[in-house]
Amino acid sequence: MRWTLVMLFVFAGISAFAGPALEEALAFLPPADRAALLKDNAVTVFSDKFDNLHLWKGSEFEGSAQGLFEHRESTLAAEALFLIPVALPSDRPTRDKLLQKAMTSVSTMKNLQVYSISLKRMETFIFDAYRTQTTDKKTRLPDPEVSDADRMSFTAFQNEEQTGESFARYTFVRAPGWSQVIQTNLTSLNYGIIPLVSPGDLLTAVYVVPFEDQLLVYGVTAAKTLSLFGLERSKTASLYTRMEALVTWFADNLKGTPGT
């Protein structure tokens, strides 16, 4: 993720800076978090549950995030804000369709690379991914067509390096000021042969707020892991990596989309 975003900044040929609209939009953040975001283009918070996170509070997507995550039982939670420099068309219908395509082309998750903290290098995080008709990987479908719909949902198959093969419910939502994807696991996630997360116990949401030459991206994820003598705590970084990988994937998709 870190290397991908660095390369994206180089590709864009601009530096992240706070214009008037972005300055106003970031007013909900505590001063320390706002300063960290503007300095490093990212700020992250970890906890055990959503109620202890705070980057979402006061944002324009506060109600949506709170409705999804508030009081959700979990043992691990993470949130992050990212600034991604990318110029989008000023025409809203065109911009909305570009964002929808970038956020729903799940087949492009194949061979997604992320930075491994333990290995100190990039590695493959998702070996394969695609839309399916059911929780059967043989019912492979193409990515959804771009449309004017403000909401679409489908089942997605993923083969990940850490948790193997699984299925998730993938939902795209378009609101007046932001676009969003929500991902919920439909099948168990296992760490090797050890079951780690039961169906429905991992929820991730990514919100994308467009500005003139930047995107504000907020990701939040919460998981209820099985009690495994502390092993679940060691997977905190992996929980964040899942969310971070979604942001990487979206940024790469948008970077390669004609018109951006």
- Please provide the average confidence, as pLDDT, over all residues in the chain: 85
Amino acid identity of residue 104, one-letter, is T
Question: In the chain, pLDDT over 70 holds for what percent of residues?
Answer: 85
CB 143 within 8 A of CB 131: yes
Which distant-in-sequence residues (6+ apart) come within 8 Å of 243 by Cβ? Answer: 78, 80, 204, 206, 219, 220, 221
Structure confidence by residue, pLDDT tens digits, 203-226: 999 999 998 788 999 999 999 987
Q: Is the confidence at residue 258, as pLDDT, over 60?
A: no
CB 231 within 8 A of CB 222: no
47: domain CATH number is 3.30.530
CA pair distance 181, 246, nearest whole angstrom: 9
Q: How confident is the model at residue 238 (pLDDT cuts 50, 70, 90)?
A: low
Least confident of 13-22, 72-81, 145-154, 214-223: 13-22
Residue 87 lies in a domain: yes
Q: What is the pLDDT of residue 244?
A: 77
CA distances from 236 to 94, 222, 242, 259 (A): 38, 10, 10, 37
Which distant-in-sequence residues (6+ apart) come within 8 Å of 112 by Cβ? Answer: 124, 125, 126, 129, 245, 248, 249
* 62: enclosing H helix or E strand: helix 62-69
Domain count within the chain: 1
Q: Is the confidence at residue 234, as pLDDT, over 80?
A: no
Q: Is the confidence at residue 85, as pLDDT, over 70?
A: yes
CB 246 within 8 A of CB 240: no
Range of the domain at 168: 2-255
Q: Is the confidence at residue 17, as pLDDT, over 50?
A: no
Q: What is the pLDDT of residue 32?
A: 96
Q: How confident is the model at residue 245 (pLDDT cuts 50, 70, 90)?
A: confident
Least confident of 29-38, 43-52, 192-201, 243-252: 243-252
Residue 260 lies in a domain: no
